[in-house]
Amino acid sequence: MPHPSVRTLLPDAADAAAATARTAVLEVRGITKTFADFTALRDVSFTVGAGAITALLGANGAGKTTLIKVITGLVRQDSGDVLWPASGGSGADRPDSLFSYVPEESGLYERMRVEDIVTYFARLSGMETAAIRAEMPGWLERFKLHEKARQRVIQLSKGNQQKVKLVCALINKPPLLILDEPFTGLDGEGSLLLRDALEKLRAAGTTMLLSSHRLDQMDLLADHLVVIAAGQKILDTTLKDARKLYRQNQIEVTFSEPPPSLDGLPGVLEITWNDGIAELTLGPTASPNLILRALLDRGCQVENFLRHSPDLTEIFHKAYAHGGGGAPAGFTGKGEAI
């Protein structure tokens, strides 16, 4: 995968997915939820488009899990609606099998065999036995679990258990997959495997709503962002637009040979050096094309010319700052929860 900072310059799967996100699978309208004197959600609205990964982000206690529980019908909202446009249902009256939900750090029946537990959840989702028999081998193979089908859940690694949960959630091909903190408790390899699995699912057209603290992982996965702070939505846009929205007016230039003086470049207000990389701060009327031409005209050996693009951690922090939430609690600069 390319570094997130160059993502805007390269066509990728996310762009394609975003382009296909035409139809809304889920519409959340004006959800408010209060517990005693505490307002957990305040007039939250957003839409989950088909075929895309929507990241639901927020600091600890921002209201993400409560929002997911309202969407899944586990908690009843005080006001607002959860609509399923494709089916025409709403709230608790939704038809079955509109979504599959995997809660944060959820477990499985440890003594059940993998194939039995998948069959159980598939049948609860309304699948017939014949359909389950036809579908299960493919799903198990896709997640490299086919050789573990007869093993009991307790014998599996945590990463494989997470994959079993995904198979349980996906076998009935729900229009929407809701994952609450799917990366929690996974090590580096487990996270990589899960991310790979989710990317493949997106490529296959599965719509997902992901809540996570792992901004580094979400940066690589998300097409759309919904950021909430203190129960209120503060950002609702595509990741691409968020990068544009929060990018600093900077260009990073790497030279293969020490350049001559960079003074007087057109539209450049300030030049700072950082590990051999020149960071050019642009004025409001500066043109990257003119700057590049000026550098080449001066005989500079340009190795890399990059318009700075903020990563998700930066976007998140700025969204919190602009949204009045202040610095988000529970986040490090590396995009991981502490």
The residue within the footprint of another protein, chosen from 7, 64, 69, 240 (CB under 8 A), is 69
Q: 57: helix, coil or strand?
A: strand
The residue within the footprint of another protein, chosen from 13, 22, 23, 35 (CB under 8 A), is 35
Shortest distance in whole angstroms from residue 75 CB to another protein: 6
Exposed / middle / buried, residue 22 (Cβ in 10 Å: 0-12, 13-18, 19+): exposed
Token readout for 81 is 């609606």
The rounded distance, in Å, linking the Cα atoms of 4 and 312 is 9
Q: Which of 130, 122, 116 is nearest to 172 (CA)?
A: 122
Spell out the residues 6+ positions from residue 46 whose beta carbon is closer than 8 angstroms to its own.
28, 54, 226, 233, 236
Size of the site for another protein (CB under 8 A): 37
Residue numbers 242-271 binding another protein by CB under 8 A: none
The string of DSSP codes covering 210-274 is EE-S-HHHHHHH-SEEEEEETTEEEEEEEHHHHHHHH--SEEEEEESS--S--TT-TTEEEEEEE
Shortest distance in whole angstroms from residue 14 CB to another protein: 28
Shortest distance in whole angstroms from residue 158 CB to another protein: 13
- Under the binding rule (CB under 8 A), the answer on residue 154 touching another protein is no
- Under the binding rule (CB under 8 A), the answer on residue 131 touching another protein is no
Shortest distance in whole angstroms from residue 122 CB to another protein: 10
- Stretch in the footprint of another protein (CB under 8 A) among 117-125, 218-226, 232-240, 300-308: 117-125
- Under the binding rule (CB under 8 A), the answer on residue 133 touching another protein is no
Token readout for 94 is 């939704």
- The smaller minimum CB distance to another protein, of residues 169 and 282, is found at 169
- Under the binding rule (CB under 8 A), the answer on residue 86 touching another protein is no
- The smaller minimum CB distance to another protein, of residues 93 and 263, is found at 93
Token readout for 332 is 């490090």
- Under the binding rule (CB under 8 A), the answer on residue 101 touching another protein is yes
- Under the binding rule (CB under 8 A), the answer on residue 240 touching another protein is no
